[in-house]
Homo-oligomer: A and B are copies of this chain.
Amino acid sequence: MLSELILGIRAQSSLSISQAISLIESDRGKGSQLLADLYEHTGNAYRIGITGPPGAGKSSLTHNLISAYRQKGDKVAVIAVDPTSPFSGGAVLGDRIRMTSHYSDPDVFVRSMATRGGEGGLALKTQEVGEIFDAAGFDVIIYETVGVGQIELDIIQATDTVVVVLVPESGDEVQMLKAGLMEIGNIFSINKADRPGANKLMITLQNFLATLSKDEDNWSPQVVHTVATEGKGTDELVSSIDSHRSFNEKQGIHKQKMEERYRQRITELITDDYVERFWDDANCLKLRRELKKNHHDRTSPYDLAKQMLSR
């Protein structure tokens, strides 16, 4: 049964890909087996992260990138983990309709993933879905997330090229500096660059970039002006991504990124399974008994943890 699914994924069947994603989301054991078997077919896709504050136009930009890569003949998969993204169903109807124009193209696959509910291991799951797309032969995988929470940043940091989208009117430059969004950008897209405030944002951004000590690999973040709703600046953005990609490959960073993703996945897998083993019947019972007591009769959680761990 798994071998059939693998054949389907390799043949890029939408049905098989969807089934595989469902499997990952619902059946940890079988999902892991599938990913173990798919591993040898992975390692070819390039991962791009698109992030930025809500309303910056990340989805429109993603839409333009899909078109651009399709014109080059690349197959494109999108993983939208942004609650505000039209891809994941978060925005107004007009946007959503515009976005679906790609859905009829078999070489474009869009998958949204919930940031709510399945909180545990979301970063791992988005990577696993990426592995399936990779094994299915997609050339480019775009991760779109809103750049706010730590989980979202973890997702984006695992990509090969990070594009941070900013808008003039957001005016929240300071806020974003604080939020750690800026440090992870390889490319900055000033979107809606025709609006007032674009120059001010540009200056703020350049001042900020000047304060950065060049990272060890000596990439200087590039700034691109876009008007995503009109498709303006897309070519510049693509060529900026391309040059970061060649840079990555020349400097061995792409390989490092793959190592990091491997490390991240194994760490999460071990954590999940190992901790699950800890909570056997005896330990669960011990905790339940403690919880039945009143607050002041309980052993402190620190002492109880110590006791349980020394068993």
Residues of A within 8 A of B (CB): 32-33, 35-37, 39-40, 42-43, 54, 83-84, 89-92, 115-117, 119, 122, 146, 148-152, 154, 172, 174-175, 178-180, 255, 258-259, 262-263, 265-266, 269-271, 273-275, 277-278, 287, 290-291, 295-296, 298, 300-306, 308-309
Contacts and interface: CB of A to CB of B under 8 A. Distances in A.
A32 B92 CA distance: 48
Given A179-B115, A295-B43, A303 B150 contact: no
Contact of A309 (B42, B149, B265, B274): B274
Contact of A43 (B174, B269, B291, B296): B296
A231 to B, nearest CB: 25
Given A32-B306, A116-B150, A255-B295, 4 more contacts: A36-B300, A83-B175, A116-B178, A273-B309
A8 to B, nearest CB: 19
Contacts of A309: 270, 273-274, 277
Nearest to A272: B305
A178 B295 contact: no
B148 A151 contact: no
Given A54-B175, A146-B148, A301 B271 contact: no
A148 B148 contact: yes
Contacts of A275: 270-271, 274-275
B122 A40 contact: no
A298 B43 CA distance: 11
A207 B208 CA distance: 44
In the complex, the count of this chain's copies comes to 2
Contacts of A116: 150, 178-180
B269 A33 contact: no
Contacts of A84: 172, 175, 178
A263 B278 contact: no
B148 A302 contact: no
A42 to B, nearest CB: 8
19 contacts: A39-B302, A54-B175, A83-B175, A84-B172, A84-B175, A91-B174, A115-B179, A116-B150, A116-B178, A116-B179, A119-B150, A122-B150, A149-B149, A151-B151, A262-B290, A265-B301, A266-B304, A271-B275, A274-B275
A287 B301 contact: no
A90 B266 CA distance: 35
Contacts of A90: 174-175, 178
Nearest to A273: B309
Given A150-B115, A302-B39, A305-B270, A83 B295 contact: no
A258 B300 CA distance: 12
Contacts of A263: 287, 291
Contacts of A148: 146, 148-149
Contact of A174 (B92, B178, B274, B308): B92
